[in-house]
Structure 1
């Protein structure tokens, strides 16, 4: 007879073994990054604007007013002004170099108040850029993606502090604080200073030669600053030596990586488990190089070479965005054809390599995600699918307004089939997600609307699985006329998700072998030339087919030791200092809207509830079925090359 306490402890351990934990989103779906705008109101702004009917200050006021009018209602924007509180005489310099006034703190945008404050401003004083940057940064949250947009018509006249040194100081506060600078009719010396500020914070520099160009540039830069890729995860430091690599458990982690560097991370795999290890590097807009490569390899216990590698590249990395590589490993699953040394339980090490050799010394964030799939000891579920979901008819109803997120972590949920619409801006990469249960599949297409003054840019869309494997992508050039992706007229689609899809001969079918959140990514590249103010209309048509079915019946991994206390207690995702890189890292707590079991369990209370449910199932099962056998993981092949043998824009998987 099984003792209740022992049974509950065993089933709690089982539930923990089944768990995959995603990082909790750092912001609500579609939430925009907070932005602090800094406006130059120094004496030089009283100069006449070339080709205009007023002063540079008049032009700046019109530009700010237009920018404010175009802000989304949910934008978190603040405004600071320097140089408006004193004159520019020598006697006033001490006061003038401290003259930075926060007109509106960062918060829900108050458009009338912002416009009134700017309209009342008079240009008169000094140019304390360094001090203004410190003041603006202090108004922003201490964590998460955040930006400063600085408009100036000249160089700093108050140093110290030197603006470039302040920029370096701000960058040390976090790789997710960016300063974008706009030079309004500046000379070479001021341009170099403003560009230095941007380059040292992962921001971008823009020239505005006159009032009209400032009008367009300010709105465009501010809109782009609102939505960034938000890297999140439990802080971790990979090592340069595989034998001292930190051990990770299922979850999401955050590290940084140099342009040419390899980092090692270890995971303990038990018999019958399948591991999915994904790395996502995040690049700022204006990345100093056009080509980025992200490579993952795996070695087995005692350093055995497992001869498994996944390598992806981005040939438009200057547009910013992200690049993801996934390596899946099923070597310990019965029937695997992996080498003997890599088919046994033990410590496996993943080597992540970034290779960017055409200049730059910048470190970038890298998200790491480990997902462990336990063995199936019962039913495998339905047979593998042989076809993809299609549009039986256009989605019914009108277009539902959405606001896409800037990353996997902030992807906006699309509530099932239908039409969704918003505006995408040049240089943006937007993320949406659709929940698929076992037995369900999806199909979608993306329309980039026409605008007569549209600039030429690359457009792209891709569909990612819950483990960040790109299932399909398409890309082409946008020149202002309406473009639909995919260009072949067929939607990007999955089959109905079933476990045995992983054995299908078709790679498009294989990748839909897990349930959970599937991600739709749409990208509009940086314009070739000057982009117009405002963005491009974006419409996403989504179809979801199939009814929810029973999935595979997972068991306990071989060698799993039941414990008397649950091991899945949520922990904080706040960075904490660590004196060792070899200690095991506890994964972050899961989100409340998690995917189906066994992948994600939303907290300890649900974990216990699951244990009770599993107790009923397992106690009724007299004899579990033998573990399944299936061939070597087929991997994720690269797409065909583009014209002339070169990879297309966003070439291959994961290119925004």
Structure 2
């Protein structure tokens, strides 16, 4: 879609040759979701922050300033402040409990005005949370995706109205109104009240223990509200002690992690099993560190060192986005040459470490995915491929409007071959997915349209497999001129997906050894200087080639010590097709300080043995997922795009 503004006239001319399908829908979908930020300025905010670097109000001002700096130019953001207009004496309570002031109505973001308003605020009065929620909601549209982000250091001191009751009122205004709450150094009673508000509106609750964590959390929560992005998974808390690590079944989980911290998680492996363990750190836009590293190591039963690790680096951590590391382990497969003590069935432990330059205390969400694959005991399907698919011809038809999701969990489905378009804003990373059956391959390219007033930044695209393995990436500078990625002129492509590709010499071929959802990621970096309004139009050309064929025939792992070799003994990369399912759960406070109310349900077409064993669980999860959809809206996709069958287990890495 193209958002039409005066400064976009040249862009319109450049795209005059493209016909957009459902143009009116595209225009409506092009806006970022409106957000109202509500800031606590009550008297308790004059207390000293934990780090001793000023008051809580000082910390809040810095966090809001950083959040404002990271907002995309097209954001619709307003700001309300409570508690700044009166004192906290008994004589002032009546006035103080009405003291909610809208300092910036919801509208195109005015960064200087927002920062001036926050800088001028002084903490002094009461905490009318319930009234503040009503005031903020009144500033938002009556329909469509919209959110409130509330920061408070304590519970309501003015009820009635009770904040939870107000949240229930707001929930009746529509499933697309969410309230995300942040508790800044709150006690248990205040935490429960703020979590109740989030739970009743389909939002999320987050703890911030000091200035650093508030800075990271506020930017991340606001980003989610704008693009409706939320890390998802069954809540789990990793341990510092590897021998106390929680045992994980195959599925997706959610924890949080500090900039320099080790977290341990365990999995029980049988003889013949191959395990795939992925960790994805979700970094906020405006992340205080430029370099982020995510490391995974594995130890065997009784703590044996398996001498195997995977490590990924992000040198543009301040732009936000995600960082994923994937570790594959097939030590219990017969014939594997693994260290003694790491080739037997038993409890294996994965150690996840986040290393960030400069340290700090800002926790970030970390999605964890575990998949366990049994050996292939029957046919392995088609022979390995020797060539990549490509564009047999230019994708036909007009450009279909889409709205990319903010994460792998909410990636927008692209319905096969064709041309797709939308607007990406500075600092955004968008996710799309394409379904590949066994025997099919994918090729694509993405064009960032030129605009005369375009700001200087970097652009990036990447293709990922269903186990979050990065297949191919390309990046270049964007200065306002039209740019197509890859810059080589050739599309990013896979071979046709067959099981035996995992034995190929080329690593890109090996990663296309499964069927399922393949993910396209597009990123427009944070602008160097002021970003122009309206974002940058992007067009994605997609080709899908090949006919569906039979896949591998899996057997079952055993609890015995490996005996004769199996066909999977020498596999160098993951088979990315085993389904698994996370367990739905409501909000629950984790030790890491974050509450996330939603589970994840991924998709795959592979027909592995445990699909039958898990049929009842899958059916139950589908019923729960249907109920959750009524509470939360995913990023919209045109109704002509059919959804594939429910995928279980894996999504992908940015």
Fold similarity call, TM over 0.5 = yes
**Which residue of the partner structure matches residue 149 of structure 2?**
148
CA contact (8 A) 1:515 1:595 kept: yes
**Which residue of the partner structure matches residue 615 of structure 2?**
604
Structure 2: distance between partners of 1:600 and 1:407: 27
Structure 1: distance between partners of 2:416 and 2:363: 38
**Which residue of the partner structure matches residue 218 of structure 2?**
203
Residue 132 of structure 1: how far off its partner (Å) = 7.2
Note if 1:555 corresponds to 2:558.
no
Aligned-partner SS, 1:460 = strand
**Which residue of the partner structure matches residue 213 of structure 1?**
none
Note if 1:325 corresponds to 2:358.
no
Note if 1:365 corresponds to 2:380.
no
Note if 1:572 corresponds to 2:584.
yes
**Which residue of the partner structure matches residue 499 of structure 1?**
499
CA contact (8 A) 1:145 1:177 kept: no
Residue 91 of structure 1: how far off its partner (Å) = 13
CA contact (8 A) 1:251 1:369 kept: yes
Structure 2: distance between partners of 1:248 and 1:148: 32
**Which residue of the partner structure matches residue 463 of structure 2?**
463
Residue 429 of structure 1: how far off its partner (Å) = 0.9
Cα shift readout 1:280-326 (whole Å, capped 9, x = no counterpart): 01111111111110000111222222221110011111111110000
Structure 2: distance between partners of 1:407 and 1:234: 16
**Which residue of the partner structure matches residue 99 of structure 1?**
98
Q: How many residues align?
A: 480
**Which residue of the partner structure matches residue 7 of structure 1?**
none
CA contact (8 A) 2:433 2:520 kept: yes
**Which residue of the partner structure matches residue 142 of structure 2?**
none
Aligned-partner SS, 1:550 = coil
CA contact (8 A) 2:182 2:206 kept: no
Structure 2: distance between partners of 1:197 and 1:304: 37
CA contact (8 A) 1:438 1:496 kept: yes
Residue 146 of structure 1: how far off its partner (Å) = 6.1
Structure 2: distance between partners of 1:435 and 1:600: 21
Aligned-partner SS, 2:293 = strand
Aligned-partner SS, 1:203 = helix
Residue 357 of structure 1: how far off its partner (Å) = 3.2
Taking the TM superposition and a 5 Å limit, the aligned residue runs for 1:354-433 are 354-433=354-433
Question: CA separation of 1:33/1:308 partners in 2, compared to 1, >3 Å: closer, same or farther?
Answer: farther
Residue 597 of structure 1: how far off its partner (Å) = 2.6
**Which residue of the partner structure matches residue 312 of structure 1?**
312
Cα RMSD, aligned residues only: 4.8
Residue 98 of structure 1: how far off its partner (Å) = 2.9
Cα shift readout 1:547-581 (whole Å, capped 9, x = no counterpart): 11110000111239xxxxxxx998432355799xx
**Which residue of the partner structure matches residue 437 of structure 1?**
437
**Which residue of the partner structure matches residue 233 of structure 2?**
233
Structure 2: distance between partners of 1:275 and 1:365: 23
**Which residue of the partner structure matches residue 289 of structure 2?**
289
CA contact (8 A) 1:569 1:604 kept: no
Aligned-partner SS, 1:302 = helix
Residue 398 of structure 1: how far off its partner (Å) = 0.7
Structure 2: distance between partners of 1:319 and 1:538: 19
Aligned-partner SS, 1:318 = helix
Residue 538 of structure 1: how far off its partner (Å) = 1.4
**Which residue of the partner structure matches residue 514 of structure 1?**
514
Residue 442 of structure 1: how far off its partner (Å) = 0.4
Residue 335 of structure 1: how far off its partner (Å) = 2.8
Structure 2: distance between partners of 1:594 and 1:490: 28
Flag the structure with more relative contact order, 1 or 2, with Cα contacts below 8 A and sequence separation at least 6.
1
Question: CA separation of 1:282/1:136 partners in 2, compared to 1, >3 Å: closer, same or farther?
Answer: farther
Question: CA separation of 1:362/1:197 partners in 2, compared to 1, >3 Å: closer, same or farther?
Answer: closer
Aligned-partner SS, 2:458 = strand
Taking the TM superposition and a 5 Å limit, the aligned residue runs for 1:588-603 are 591=601, 594-598=604-608, 601=611
**Which residue of the partner structure matches residue 634 of structure 1?**
none
Cα shift readout 1:226-267 (whole Å, capped 9, x = no counterpart): 116421111111111222211111001111111111111111
Question: CA separation of 1:306/1:542 partners in 2, compared to 1, >3 Å: closer, same or farther?
Answer: same
**Which residue of the partner structure matches residue 475 of structure 2?**
475
CA contact (8 A) 1:146 1:176 kept: no
Residue 340 of structure 1: how far off its partner (Å) = 3.6
CA contact (8 A) 1:594 1:600 kept: no
Q: If you compute each CA radius of gyration, which structure gives the higher value, 1 or 2?
A: 1
Cα shift readout 1:62-116 (whole Å, capped 9, x = no counterpart): xxxxx9x9779xxxx99868699x999x99965553335699xx9xx9x9xxxxx
Residue 536 of structure 1: how far off its partner (Å) = 0.9
Return the TM-score normalized by structure 1.
Answer: 0.63
Structure 1: distance between partners of 2:256 and 2:483: 36
Structure 1: distance between partners of 2:506 and 2:397: 34
Residue 604 of structure 1: how far off its partner (Å) = 2.8
CA contact (8 A) 1:292 1:356 kept: yes
Aligned-partner SS, 2:344 = coil
Residue 387 of structure 1: how far off its partner (Å) = 1.1
Cα shift readout 1:120-164 (whole Å, capped 9, x = no counterpart): xxxxx9988984777656879xxx9966399xxxxxxxx99xxx9
Question: CA separation of 1:331/1:178 partners in 2, compared to 1, >3 Å: closer, same or farther?
Answer: closer
**Which residue of the partner structure matches residue 172 of structure 2?**
none
CA contact (8 A) 2:237 2:590 kept: no
Question: CA separation of 1:274/1:83 partners in 2, compared to 1, >3 Å: closer, same or farther?
Answer: closer
CA contact (8 A) 2:234 2:583 kept: no
Question: CA separation of 1:293/1:607 partners in 2, compared to 1, >3 Å: closer, same or farther?
Answer: closer
* Uncovered stretches (5+) of structure 1, i.e. residues with no partner: 1-28, 41-66, 112-124, 151-158, 180-194, 206-220, 561-567, 580-587, 610-653
Cα shift readout 1:191-211 (whole Å, capped 9, x = no counterpart): xxxx96994462359xxxxxx
Question: CA separation of 1:570/1:91 partners in 2, compared to 1, >3 Å: closer, same or farther?
Answer: closer
**Which residue of the partner structure matches residue 545 of structure 2?**
545
Residue 395 of structure 1: how far off its partner (Å) = 0.9
Structure 1: distance between partners of 2:454 and 2:422: 16
**Which residue of the partner structure matches residue 535 of structure 2?**
535
